[in-house]
Amino acid sequence: MSAADNSSDSFMVILMKLFEHEAKDIFREFKMPTPPGGVARTPEEAKERAAEIGKPVVVKAQVLAGKRGKAGGVKFADTSDEAAKVAEEILKMRINDLPVKAVLVEEKLDIAQEIYAGITIDRNERKYVVIGSSAGGMSIEELAETSPEKIIKRHVDPFLGFHPYEARQMAINMGFKGKQINRLAGFFMILWKIVQAYDVELTEINPLILTKDGRFLAADARLNIDDNALYRHKSLIEELKREPAEQNERERLAAEHDMAYVELDGDIACICNGAGLTMATLDSVAHYGGKASTFLDLGGGADAERVKKGIEIALMYPKVKAILVNIMGGITRCDEVAKGIISAKEDGDLTVPLVIRMVGTNEGEGQEILQKAGIPFLRTMEEAAAKVVEIVKEGA
């Protein structure tokens, strides 16, 4: 099944990072200069690519990891036979524990200067930030430590966008002169167009190489798309042949009901509302010596039906020995939560012990409902976490 004919709305795909060659395809669509070359999946193919180029080449591991150069995943070859040989070596490697399934064979550039150009989101400023440096090659994080003064930044006004005069100013601040200013500015403008077209979270050209004969070319390419915007880029995902992450029945059901659901190795299912509270609940369970089996965030405004569904999904996971429900009533009403739990119990669905803590909206009503049904509840998250851990340990 391809991503495109997955009709389900739960479009839970892979983290959307593009391989260098995929990112470069997009760069080229936007008319950015990149070195000539192509992808190879076998040494023979690498030889063909190198022969097509007919010049010394660089052979680069295609893995979703940075610093491939340092890991030995970027090698040079003067002849096509040599290209086949280094491709064979690289295709056997694992980089950052990822297998190398393809290499990119490109014309080797004569470097006069390595430049950095990128755009990412500055979450503190809530704006895109365009970043440039005349000292490319090393990672921007390293550069920030060794020579922060060499990093030029410009935030993008979300209403005004990023303009050519700003790109030229970046190039000037990076120390470029004359015709180089416009040429370099062009790369920033293309990155900005791509950022807008693809809801990009991070894009980087590092290095953007200035060759000895005065050409600027994107020698590396990084492009990460915001996962939350992937529904707008289904055709790209299809084109890149990305498969949705394999989901088991429980994950599929949870996604269908719009619940955040993650399975872990322990035995206590934590059902809460809000990701922060769920996380804190997992921490609490760990603090009292327990292990969570499930992160289940019901989301805001869960009604009785939804609570019941959450319990049902959690119980489908065979590892679960107890359930901890921790609810901060806000939009979610405690009486609705209580009704959901009772309905799960009455239907005979509740096959493991359940500990509940809930506070907030309609707390009194909720507690009364639980009390009448003989279901104990606790007042604090700490008490509830300690209790559920105790129950599991007793049962063991």
Supply the minimum distance, in Å, between the C-beta of residue 69 and ligand GDP. Answer: 3
Tell me which DSSP letter residue 56 carries: -
Among 34, 62, 203, 206, contact with Mn ion (rule: CB under 5 A): 206
Residue 49 in contact with ligand GDP, rule: CB under 6 A: no
Among 18, 50, 58, 167, contact with ligand GDP (rule: CB under 6 A): 58
Residue 114 in contact with ligand GDP, rule: CB under 6 A: yes
Supply the minimum distance, in Å, between the C-beta of residue 83 and Mn ion. Answer: 20
Among ligand GDP, Mn ion, none, what does residue 322 contact (CB within 5–8 Å per kind)? none
Supply the minimum distance, in Å, between the C-beta of residue 48 and ligand GDP. Answer: 19
Q: How far apart are CA 171 and CA 161, in angstroms?
A: 18
Contact 256, 10 (CB under 8 A): yes
Residue 69 in contact with ligand GDP, rule: CB under 6 A: yes
Nearest to 59 by CA among 67, 70, 43: 43
Angle between helices 275-287 and 381-395 (to 10 degrees): 50
Nearer to Mn ion, 220 or 335 (CB): 220
Residue 20 in contact with Mn ion, rule: CB under 5 A: no
Residue 109 in contact with ligand GDP, rule: CB under 6 A: yes
Nearer to Mn ion, 116 or 162 (CB): 116
Residue 220 in contact with Mn ion, rule: CB under 5 A: yes
Which entry of 45, 166, 204, 263 is annotated as an active-site residue?
A: 204
Supply the minimum distance, in Å, between the C-beta of residue 214 and Mn ion. Answer: 22
Q: How many residues bind Mn ion (CB under 5 A)?
A: 2
Tell me which DSSP letter residue 290 carries: -
Residue 24 in contact with ligand GDP, rule: CB under 6 A: no
Q: How far apart are CA 69 and CA 157, in angstroms?
A: 35
Residue 83 in contact with ligand GDP, rule: CB under 6 A: no
DSSP one-letter string for 323-375 = EEEEEEESSS-HHHHHHHHHHHHHTT---S-EEEEEEETTHHHHHHHHHHTT-
Q: How far apart are CA 290 and CA 81, in angstroms?
A: 58
To the query of whether residue 116 is one of the catalytic residues in this protein, the response is yes
To the query of whether residue 204 is one of the catalytic residues in this protein, the response is yes
DSSP one-letter string for 37-52 = EEEESSHHHHHHHHHH
Beta strand 103-107 pairing with 98-99: unpaired
Token duo for residue 32: 């950015």
Active site residues: 116, 204
Which residues here bind Mn ion, judged by CB under 5 A?
Answer: 206, 220
Which residues here bind ligand GDP, judged by CB under 6 A?
Answer: 35, 58, 60, 66-69, 74, 108-109, 111, 114, 137, 206-207, 219-220
